[in-house]
C-alpha cells in the first residue's frame, strides 16, 4: 500500500501529545530501532516548559541516506491528544497521513488535504493497563510500517524497561504486540511501500544525542570535575557526567547556584583538576564575575553554554542563537577567551576535547556555545568519531624560585599546582606582580595587561578556519553553530552553485577571514536570532557587510524547506536587507 508522498526514501514522522504521555520514550525507542535496522535517523523535539499538559512533539526522520536536519513536512503523524493536530497543522499537506484515534476530538480542518487512517490507540491502551501505554503501541505501529523487524523493537523495549516491575514489562510487551499487529493489519507484512533501503554499515553506527557528544568530548579532554546548577537545556551534560562519574573518576557537584559552580570549577583547576561548568544564558550571566576572575588569575576554565531564547526566563525549553554577544563581552576588564560553536555531534565531541586543551595551555576561559536544538537532537554517527583521546596536561613541577606569573614574550607563564614541587603557587584576584602579590604599580600593571593580552596572537594562529563547502565564489551562505546541516541540505536542494561558509570557532576569528569573505559576490548570513549578531561580529572584525540576513526567533530551529524557499526568493531578486 502506498500513500500520497511520491518519494519515500526519507520519511518524516511526528508524534504529538501532552507532556507526560511518554513521547520522548517513543523517540528513544524508534531512533534505536531504525538505526539497528540499517536506516539513517535524525530526531528533534519541541516541548513546553511544564511537567504535564501543554502540547509537545517529536519529529523523527528515517532515511536510506544520511539525514541530519529538521524538515517542515510531515509524512506520518501520530496525534496522542485532542490538541495535537492543531499544534502541528501548519506542517501538514496533501502528502500527510494521520494515524488517528477516533476517540480524539481534534480533527484536521476540512481544507487540509490529508489522508486519515483510524487506529484505536486509547482503548487498546486502557485494556492493557492505562492510557500511558499509547506510546508503546505507537512505537510498535510505526516500527511495523517502516519495516523494522519485530525482534529488533522487542529487544529495545525490553532493555528500556528492564528495571521496571514485571507488570510494567508485561504490559509493555502487550502494547508493543498490539501496535505492531495493528501496523501489519493496515500495511501488510512488508509495511508501507517505500523506497527505504537498509544499509548493513549503518547498523554498526551509534545513535547519539547532542548532549552525549559534548559530555564524551569532555571526558576525552580529561574532565574530572563538573559543578553546575541545573538549567535547561544544559542540564543533560551535568546528568550525563554524573552518571559516568565512577567509570571515569569524575566528581559531579550540583552547586547551590551558578556563582558557586564557576568558583568551584576555578578551585578545581587551581588544585590540578580539569573542570567544566554547564549552563544556559541566565546562569552564564551569574558566572560573569567568575569569568573575569579566571581572566585575572589566568586559570583555565571550560564553560558549556546551551542557548535558549531570552531575555530573562524567555522560552526555557526552546532554541535560539541569541547569546553570542553575551559570551564575547561578559566579564569586566579585558582578557582573552575562546568561543567554539559546534555544528553537529562530531564537532561537539572534537571541540569539547579542544576546549580543555586550549584552556589548559593558554590558561584562559573557553566557552562551548551550543543550543537546545543541538543538545536535544539524536542522529547516527560512526563509532570512530567518538574514540577517546589522551588528554594533554600542561602543568610543571615547581621549584623554590617559582613565580606563578613570570613574564614571557608569548604571555604564558608556567602553571604549577599546590603540592607538586617546592614552589609557592600564589594567585590573586587583584592586580599582582610575577609572584602573585597584590600591586598598584602602574608599570607592573601595564606589563601584566600586556602579558595577558599577548596570548591573542598565538590564539589567532591556532583558530579554526571556517569550513567551505561549494565552489568558493559567487553567492555564499554564512552560518555558525548548529545550523550547519540545515543549510547544507537546503542549499543542496535548490540546484544552484551556492557556497556555504560555516564557523565552528566564533572567537577569535581566523586571521584570513576578511580575504575569504571578499572573494564572494553576495553574502547571506543565517542566524537563529533577531539582530544578526554574527553578521555584526564579522563587520566589526573585518569591515565586511552582509548583503542579506536570514533570521528566526520563534524558538524553533530553521527547517530545510524554509531556508531553501528563502534562498530561492533572494537569489532571484537583486537583493534585500532582511
DSSP conformation letters of 75-143? SEEEE-STTHHHHHGGG--TT-EEEE-TT------TTS--EEEE--HHHHHHHHT-GGGHHHHHHHHHH
Determine the pLDDT at residue 577. 45
Phi, psi of 101 (to 5 degrees): -80, 125
Q: In terms of domains, do 440 and 496 share one?
A: no
Task: Give rounded-to-5 percent helix, strand, coil for the chain.
Answer: 40, 20, 40
Determine the pLDDT at residue 388. 82
**Residue 479 in contact with residue 551, Cβ under 8 Å?**
no
Domain-terminating residue out of 181, 204, 227? 204
Determine the pLDDT at residue 578. 42
In a domain, 577, yes or no: no
Q: In terms of domains, do 476 and 447 share one?
A: no
In a domain, 4, yes or no: no
Q: In terms of domains, do 282 and 298 share one?
A: yes
Q: In terms of domains, do 218 and 333 share one?
A: yes
Q: In terms of domains, do 222 and 365 share one?
A: yes
**Residue 197 in contact with residue 27, Cβ under 8 Å?**
no
In a domain, 173, yes or no: yes
Q: In terms of domains, do 358 and 496 share one?
A: no
Q: In terms of domains, do 310 and 226 share one?
A: yes
Determine the pLDDT at residue 5. 58
Q: How far apart are CA 212 and CA 385, in angstroms?
A: 13
How do the pLDDT tens digits run along the chain, 578 residues long? 344 555 568 999 999 999 889 999 999 999 999 999 999 999 999 999 988 888 999 999 999 999 999 999 999 999 999 999 999 999 999 999 999 999 999 888 887 789 999 999 999 999 999 999 999 999 999 999 888 999 999 999 999 999 999 999 999 999 999 999 998 988 776 667 777 889 999 999 999 999 999 999 999 999 999 999 999 999 999 999 999 999 999 999 999 999 999 999 999 999 999 999 999 999 999 999 999 999 999 999 999 999 999 999 999 999 999 999 999 999 999 999 999 999 999 999 999 999 999 999 999 999 999 999 999 999 999 999 998 888 888 999 999 999 999 999 999 999 999 999 999 999 999 999 999 999 999 999 999 999 999 999 999 999 999 999 999 999 999 999 999 999 999 999 998 899 999 999 999 999 999 999 999 999 999 999 999 999 999 999 999 999 999 999 999 999 999 999 999 999 987 544 44
Domain-terminating residue out of 177, 204, 231? 204
Q: In terms of domains, do 170 and 263 share one?
A: no
In a domain, 171, yes or no: yes
In this structure, what is the dihedral angle of CA atoms 469, 473, 478, 483, given to the nearest 10 degrees?
-30
Cell numbers 543542496 label which residue?
492
In a domain, 5, yes or no: no
Angle (CA) 532-536-539 rounded to 5° is 145
Domain that holds residue 77: 10-204
Q: In terms of domains, do 543 and 410 share one?
A: no
Q: How far apart are CA 179 and CA 128, in angstroms?
A: 12
DSSP conformation letters of 254-306? E-SSHHHHHHHHHHHHHHT--EEEEE-HHHHHHTHHHHHHHHHHT--EEEEEE
Number of C-beta neighbours around residue 165 at 10 A: 9
Q: In terms of domains, do 351 and 431 share one?
A: no
| 153 CB-side CA count, 13 A | 32
CATH number at residue 150: 3.40.920.10
In this structure, what is the dihedral angle of CA atoms 484, 87, 146, 68, given to the nearest 10 degrees?
0
Q: How far apart are CA 259 and CA 346, in angstroms?
A: 31
Q: In terms of domains, do 193 and 88 share one?
A: yes
Q: How many residues does the chain have?
A: 578
Can you give the C-alpha Rg of the chain in angstroms? 26
Q: In terms of domains, do 492 and 537 share one?
A: yes
Domains: count for the chain: 4
In a domain, 29, yes or no: yes
| Cell numbers standing for residue 216 | 564524551
In a domain, 115, yes or no: yes
Determine the pLDDT at residue 576. 46
H-helix or E-strand containing 144?
Answer: helix 134-146
Q: How far apart are CA 524 and CA 533, in angstroms?
A: 13
DSSP one-letter code for 63: E
In a domain, 419, yes or no: yes
Determine the pLDDT at residue 8. 66
Among candidate residues 33, 63, 30, the one with its CA nearest the CA of residue 197: 63
| Cell numbers standing for residue 520 | 564572494
CATH number at residue 522: 3.40.50.920
Give, to the nearest 10 degrees, the angle between helix 23-36 and helix 134-146.
30
Domain-terminating residue out of 425, 443, 462? 462
Considering Cα of 189, then 191, then 195, then 198, what sign does the dihedral take? negative
| Cell numbers standing for residue 385 | 568519531
Determine the pLDDT at residue 474. 95
Amino acid at each position: 500500500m502506498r500513500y500520497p508522498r511520491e518519494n519515500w526514501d526519507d520519511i518524516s514522522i511526528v508524534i504529538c501529545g501532552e507532556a507526560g504521555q511518554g513521547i520522548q520514550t517513543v523517540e528513544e525507542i524508534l531512533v534505536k530501532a531504525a538505526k539497528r535496522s540499517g536506516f539513517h535517523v535524525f530526531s528533534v523535539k519541541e516541548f513546553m516548559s511544564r511537567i504535564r499538559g501543554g502540547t509537545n512533539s517529536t519529529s523523527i526522520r528515517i532515511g536510506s541516506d544520511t539525514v541530519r536536519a529538521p524538515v517542515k513536512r510531515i509524512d506520518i503523524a501520530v496525534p496522542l491528544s485532542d490538541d495535537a493536530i492543531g499544534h502541528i497543522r501548519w506542517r501538514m499537506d496533501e502528502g500527510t497521513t494521520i494515524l488517528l484515534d477516533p476517540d480524539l476530538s481534534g480533527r484536521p480542518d476540512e481544507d487540509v488535504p490529508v489522508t486519515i487512517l483510524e487506529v484505536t490507540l486509547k482503548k487498546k491502551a486502557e485494556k492493557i493497563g492505562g492510557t500511558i501505554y499509547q506510546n508503546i503501541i505507537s512505537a510498535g505501529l510505526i516500527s511495523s510500517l517502516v519495516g523494522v523487524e519485530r525482534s529488533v523493537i522487542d529487544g529495545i523495549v525490553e532493555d528500556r524497561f528492564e528495571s521496571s516491575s514485571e507488570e510494567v514489562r508485561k504490559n509493555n510487551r502487550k502494547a508493543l504486540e498490539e501496535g505492531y499487529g495493528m501496523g501489519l493489519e493496515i500495511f501488510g507484512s512488508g509495511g508501507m511501500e517505500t523506497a527505504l533501503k537498509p544499509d548493513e554499515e549503518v547498523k554498526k553506527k551509534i545513535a547519539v544525542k547532542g548532549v552525549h557528544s559534548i559530555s564524551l568530548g569532555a571526558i576525552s579532554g580529561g574532565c574530572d570535575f563538573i559543578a553546575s546548577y541545573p538549567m535547561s537545556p544544559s542540564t543533560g551534560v551535568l546528568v550525563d557526567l554524573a552518571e559516568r562519574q565512577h567509570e571515569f573518576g569524575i566528581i559531579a557537584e550540583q552547586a547551590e547556584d551558578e556563582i558557586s559552580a564557576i568558583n568551584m570549577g576555578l578551585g578545581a583547576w587551581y588544585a590540578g583538576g580539569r573542570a567544566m561548568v554547564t549552563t544556559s544564558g541566565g546562569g552564564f550571566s551569574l558566572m560573569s564575575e567568575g569569568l573575569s576572575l579566571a581572566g585575572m588569575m589566568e586559570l583555565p576554565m571550560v564553560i558549556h553554554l546551551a542557548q535558549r531564547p531570552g531575555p530573562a526566563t524567555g522560552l526555557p525549553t526552546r532554541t535560539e542563537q541569541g547569546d553570542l554577544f553575551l559570551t564575547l563581552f561578559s566579564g569586566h576588564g579585558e582578557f582573552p577567551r575562546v568561543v567554539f560553536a559546534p555544528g553537529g555531534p562530531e564537532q561537539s565531541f572534537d571541540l569539547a576535547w579542544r576546549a580543555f586543551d586550549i584552556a589548559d595551555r593558554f590558561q584562559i576561559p573557553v566557552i562551548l556555545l551550543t543550543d537546545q536544538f543541538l543538545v536535544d537532537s539524536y542522529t547516527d554517527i560512526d563509532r570512530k568519531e567518538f574514540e577517546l583521546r589522551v588528554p594533554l596536561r600542561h602543568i610543571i613541577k615547581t621549584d623554590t624560585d617559582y613565580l606563578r606569573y613570570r613574564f614571557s614574550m608569548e604571555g604564558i607563564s608556567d602553571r604549577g599546582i599546590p603540592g607538586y614541587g617546592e614552589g609557592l603557587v600564589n594567585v590573586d584576584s587583584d592586580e599582582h606582580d610575577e609572584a602573585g602579590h597584590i600591586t598598584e604599580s602602574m608599570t607592573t600593571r601595564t606589563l601584566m595587561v600586556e602579558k595577558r593580552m599577548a596570548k591573542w596572537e598565538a590564539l589567532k594562529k591556532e583558530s579554526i578556519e571556517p569550513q567551505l563547502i561549494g565552489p568558493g565564489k559567487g553567492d555564499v551562505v554564512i552560518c555558525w553553530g548548529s545550523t550547519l546541516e540545515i543549510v547544507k541540505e537546503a542549499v543542496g536542494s535548490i540546484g544552484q552553485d551556492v557556497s556555504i561558509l560555516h564557523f565552528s570557532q566564533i572567537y577569535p576569528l581566523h586571521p584570513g577571514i576578511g580575504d575569504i569573505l571578499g572573494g564572494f559576490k553576495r553574502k547571506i548570513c543565517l542566524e537563529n536570532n533577531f539582530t544578526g549578531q554574527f553578521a555584526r561580529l564579522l563587520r566589526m572584525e573585518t569591515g565586511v557587510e552582509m548583503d542579506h540576513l536570514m533570521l528566526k526567533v520563534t524558538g524553533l530551529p530553521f527547517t530545510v524547506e524554509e531556508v531553501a524557499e528563502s534562498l530561492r526568493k533572494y537569489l532571484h531578486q537583486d537583493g534585500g536587507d532582511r
